[in-house]
């Protein structure tokens, strides 16, 4: 039997950014077997092929400078084609859109993700290259309140209001899933960011994230 291909399209927590409160140091990355997509592969087994497409600072559809190429909309179509045929696309995005630089409401972030969903649903990169892949929308984890005091190199509090926005996204993503006929999973009740930086997952959170997504995937494919 051909394994089902699962594409994990996300940001730094999909990439495996190791939590750190010293942003002057080079970014560290968990090895594949500790990142949630890698753990997901282990849990699902040989009947699935899990593709990691995580990128630090990735947004839904916003340009981010610096660094460049973080706009999730720009890369999505070639990414789908590259890994086709795909059975399921998992979106794990929205957290970076909450940054104050973008002055974006939770509703606008929802609309940004909707544009990515449209790209997937109007493609033919699913089964036999004749249909679109299924989609699973996952929520961000809720950041810890202290992150709202973080300052960038210019002294700007770039995460002010993010906790409230992410809390709003939980319900808005559920609405979006209904509107677009997608699957939905709220991971925020069980997956918590590290106390080190209040945003990124530690190894235990990656395992927890993979466990609940694995259960959802098996439900989607009725296993």
Query: What pLDDT is attached to residue 223?
Result: 62
Provide the number of structural domains found in the chain.
1
For the entire predicted model, the pTM comes to 0.96
Q: What are phi and psi of 107, to 5 degrees?
A: -65, -40
Residues 17 and 9: their CA atoms lie apart, in Å, by 15
pLDDT tens for the chain, 223 residues long, are 899 999 999 999 999 999 998 766 667 999 999 999 999 999 999 999 999 999 999 999 999 877 779 999 999 999 999 999 999 999 999 999 999 999 999 999 999 999 999 999 999 999 999 999 999 999 999 999 999 999 988 899 999 999 999 999 999 999 999 999 999 999 999 999 999 999 999 999 999 999 999 999 999 998 6
Residues 103 and 49: their CA atoms lie apart, in Å, by 37
| CATH code of the domain containing 83 | 3.40.50.1110
Q: Which domain holds residue 210?
A: 4-220
Query: What pLDDT is attached to residue 26?
Result: 60
What are the Cα distances from residue 171, in Å, to 139, 155, 166? 9, 32, 9
> Who contacts 63 (Cβ-Cβ below 8 Å, separation ≥6)?
70, 71
Residues 211 and 18: their CA atoms lie apart, in Å, by 19
């Amino acid at each position: 039997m051909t394994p089902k291909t699962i594409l994990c399209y996300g940001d730094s927590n999909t990439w495996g950014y190791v939590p750190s409160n010293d942003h002057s140091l080079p970014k560290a990355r968990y090895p594949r077997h500790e990142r949630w997509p890698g753990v997901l592969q282990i849990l699902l087994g040989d009947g699935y092929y899990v593709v990691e497409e995580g990128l630090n600072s990735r947004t839904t559809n916003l340009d981010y400078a610096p660094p460049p190429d973080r706009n999730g909309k720009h890369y999505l179509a070639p990414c789908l084609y590259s890994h086709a045929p795909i059975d399921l696309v998992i979106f794990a995005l929205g957290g970076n859109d909450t940054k104050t630089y973008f002055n974006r409401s939770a509703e606008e972030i929802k609309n940004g993700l909707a544009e990515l969903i449209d790209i997937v649903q109007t493609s033919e990169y699913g089964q036999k290259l004749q249909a679109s892949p299924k989609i699973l929308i996952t929520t961000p984890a809720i950041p810890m309140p202290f992150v709202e005091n973080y300052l960038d190199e210019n002294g700007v509090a770039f995460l002010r209001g993010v906790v409230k926005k992410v809390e709003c996204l939980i319900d808005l993503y559920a609405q979006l899933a209904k509107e677009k006929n997608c699957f939905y999973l709220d991971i925020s009740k069980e997956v918590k960011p590290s106390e080190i930086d209040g945003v990124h997952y530690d190894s235990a959170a990656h395992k927890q994230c993979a466990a609940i997504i694995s259960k959802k995937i098996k439900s989607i494919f009725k296993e």
